[in-house]
Structure formats: C-alpha cells, structure tokens
Amino acid sequence: MANQTMDILSKVLEQSAKVVEEQVEAQLSKLNDMDEDDLERLKERRLEALKNAQKQKQEWLSKGHGEYREIPSEKDFFAEVKESKKVVCHFYKNSTFRCKIVDKHLAILAKKHVETKFIKLNVEKAPFLSERLRIKVIPTLALVVDGKTKDYVIGFSDLGNTDEFPTEMLEWRLGCADVINYSGNLMEPPTLKQRPGSKFTKVEKKSIRGRGYDSDSDSDED
C-alpha cells in the first residue's frame, strides 16, 4: 500500500514538474521571438508603470498618508475624508487605556499601507460627529471609503477579544472592509495564540452598504 502511494505521489510530482517546465519554455520562447523594438516597448511600459506608482505614492504622502496623526477637530475630519479615497479614523479618549494599544498598531499600519490615510480624533472634541455616528464604545475605528462610513471596528471583539492581538489581526480586519490593499487570505484571520476565554469573531468579506455620517453604529454598548 505504501509503495502504491509513493508511486502515485511520484507521478503527480512528475506531472507538476512537466507543467512548470512547459510554462517556463513558453515564456522563454515568447522572449526569444521578441525583437529589439518589442523589448524596448516592454521596458518603456515597465518604466511608465513605475513612474505612475511613484507619482501616486507622492500624491498620497502630500495628503498626509504614510503617518498616523491626530486631527484637532471634527471639522478637520470632513476635510480629511473628502480628499482621500480610503481613511481609517480612530475615535479615542485619553482616559481609555485600550486606545493606546490601537495607537501602536495603527502607527505601524500607516507606514505599511500608504494607500490609506490613518488619523485619530478625540471624541470629547467631536460631540456632533460622535452623536451622528452614534459612537458609544471606545475605541472605535470608522472605516471610510469614498467619503462614506463603510464599516466600524468596535472595541476588540473582531480582533480576538484580547488586548494582545497582533498587528496582523487588525490588518486583516481592515482588509475585510477593503479600506486597505490586503494581500493575505481574507477568509480566515491570522493565527493568534489564544488565551483561555479569548475567541475570534469571523468577519465575512462582503459589500457593506455605504453609510453617511448620520448612520448608526453596530453597537449599543456603554
């Protein structure tokens, strides 16, 4: 039985190697068929793509992307979300120690995901906005796409219900809302060494109806 299994595995590996070899040969053949003009056009397209990517990055940086920063008032919030396609805003209080945990992770993600703007706002300086968004749990992250509040991360319930969640867990959660360009597997959260009593809340990657700034939050906790 063991020999039969080994034979099957050997054939599968052989077939896989053959497929890869054929793909490589096809690519090499395609390159060999190119003349100097074709190669020059390919080079120009790649250079143009690099230039466009660098231009886009500089545009993001000019709008305050690439760093996690505090905005002074709710008036500034509307201006910030208006000029950027993707925004993560942390509503915090100085008296809530878990906000410091969120700060640490967002500072890391702001540098990694330049395509998204990461800001924070003291809820005590934003009574109108906090009321309109019905923010009752601190910390709360408002995830804004195209000027609409698409989703919320309320407390740590989506992050393993633990203060010790890794940055990758929050990154995955933001990826589920399409507020960052996430390259990992959205179907499952990153592995976390769970403590007794901790658990995950699985979040489906779905299209959440865009909500304006008068929308309800998903929680009525105090």
pLDDT of residue 217: 34
pLDDT of residue 138: 97
d(CA 144, CA 179): 7
Mean pLDDT rounded to a whole number for the chain: 82
- Which of 135, 124, 136 is closest to 94 using CA atoms? 124
Mean of pLDDT values over 183-205:
65
According to CATH, where is 3.40.30.10 located in the chain? 66-176
Choose which CATH entry (3.30.750.24, 3.40.30.10, 3.40.190.80, 3.40.50.300) describes domain 66-176. 3.40.30.10
Cis status, amide bond into 139, omega within 30 of 0: yes
Mean of pLDDT values over 118-130:
96
Q: 117 pLDDT exceeds 70?
A: yes
Q: What type of residue sits at position 61?
A: L
d(CA 81, CA 121): 13
How confident is residue 5, by pLDDT bands cut at 50, 70 and 90?
low
Mean of pLDDT values over 118-146:
96
Cα angle 11, 15, 17 (rounded to 5 degrees) comes to 115
How confident is residue 153, by pLDDT bands cut at 50, 70 and 90?
very high
- Kindly state the DSSP code that residue 122 receives in the 8-state scheme: E
User: Does residue 41 or residue 164 have the better pLDDT?
Assistant: 164
d(CA 198, CA 37): 60
Q: 199 pLDDT exceeds 70?
A: no
Q: 24 pLDDT exceeds 80?
A: no
pLDDT of residue 93: 97
How confident is residue 214, by pLDDT bands cut at 50, 70 and 90?
very low
Please tell me the pTM assigned to this model. Answer: 0.70
pLDDT of residue 26: 66
CB 96 within 8 Å of CB 128: no
User: How many residues in total does the chain contain?
Assistant: 222
Q: In sequence order, which residues have a C-beta less than 8 Å from that of residue 122 and are 6 or more positions away?
A: 70, 92, 93, 94
User: Does residue 147 or residue 201 have the better pLDDT?
Assistant: 147
d(CA 76, CA 122): 12
CB 209 within 8 Å of CB 216: no
Give the least confident one: 16-20, 56-60, 66-70, 140-144.
16-20
pLDDT of residue 190: 87
